[in-house]
Structure 1
Amino acid sequence: MTNELNNIVNEVGIIDEPINDVLLHLNNIQPMSKAETFTQTVKERAEAFKNEYKDTYTPQALKEGIQAIYDEEKAKVEQSIQSENESFQAKRIKAIERAKQQIAHSDDLDSSEISKRVYHTQTLQSDLSLELMNADTGSSISAILSEKMELASRDKMKAIALLSSLHLFANKIDGLHDQERAYLLTKLKMNKDELNKMIYGNKHEAYRQVIEHLEKMDTNIYTADKLSINMNSNIERYL
């Protein structure tokens, strides 16, 4: 996902501090590095502890001492994971808000433009409702969508109206068999992306994709580290 975000931002040249900040954080993360550092630190401290006390402590006392070292280092790394993840999540939320602000700014319209869009959208949806009513197969639905996309490619107002009407195709597609439905949903998604680019340009679409990627992101980007640490709780390997 990080590579996809990098490509989206770099392709259109987004220079936006909150978004670049969250990408910098993601690019600097090394998967499992915290778990590996934790294991190595416990190993080194356990070896030093054994070397210092092996001649004076009983095996049980050595084990308890190493358990204390393990617990101490685990608490440290878990606190580090929590702190860094909270920092990242704050950056992620800020980047999403920034991208939404940029989209909202580009969407500012006067009342005349809004009236035109409403008129064209209502007209298209009325026509589409009739056309789709008689479309009983995936190929017939696909043909209607292709025809409307062709018209949209030559007229921005028609592109805007079609983007606002894609839910009519989605509702119709829901009633198809699995294979046809999967194909047409993919086509619909591609057409939606294409319409966004036609209407708003590449940068607007890039901001939209940034929002989509960041909203889907895990609420803890250090999950792999945390799982690895919790799965290796047996201290026998350090004795």
Structure 2
Amino acid sequence: MIIKENEIIVEKVIDKDILKIDNNINQYKNAIFFDLEHYVYKKPKCVGVFGSCFFDEQKSKLFVTQYMIENKDEVEDILLLAEQYFKEMQSKYNKDTIVTFSGNNDFTVINYLFEKYKIEYKILDNYKHIDLQKEYEKIVKHGIGLKALEKVFDIDREGELIAGSNLAKTFHKVLKDKEYIVRMPKEKIEKILQYNEQDVVNLFHIYVNWNKYISEIDGNIEVTV
């Protein structure tokens, strides 16, 4: 298993810019920002990368945690680490909310795999869920992808974009061949981890800068330039 942890300094968060949920601007302080890279062929096969981060207000930092499988023997192990992470975030750090982008896909995969491996943990029984895709679509009334939303928020990604189909092919090879991860260039592994880290970190930045770029006027979206 590849386990990567990172700390990212956050510039000052401005209250007036933060997304309000039920008239609460402080929900992000109790949240984890979550994204999976996974492999599905007819049915979910594995979580390839588990990625999550949370904001520490005292240290003004994001703390990022990632798990990436290296072979098929770790399919269950990564699920157990995910369960442990969710429980620890709740018991140790008092987190009660998960923020995603189109998170239902990820929950469908991980819940299916939890059930398959008899892990009796229900994420959404323990966490409230805020889906930024749905929050945006409440205003614009049409669908949007994460990369398009990042452009609205003037977010420039570090590293290259990776197509979901390419990630699926990679994790298919990881499951099929125990030595594949050994042969995989370290640069490719780092690109995958960086891609996933950008997903979760950018969710945080979108959340806390929401009103800086978006306001609702007569049911229409106004994008601030």
- TM-score for the superposition, normalised by structure 2: 0.27
- Identify, as 1 or 2, the structure richer in strand: 2
Please tell me whether Structure 1 or Structure 2 has the larger radius of gyration of its CA atoms: 1
- TM-score for the superposition, normalised by structure 1: 0.26
- Identify, as 1 or 2, the structure richer in helix: 1
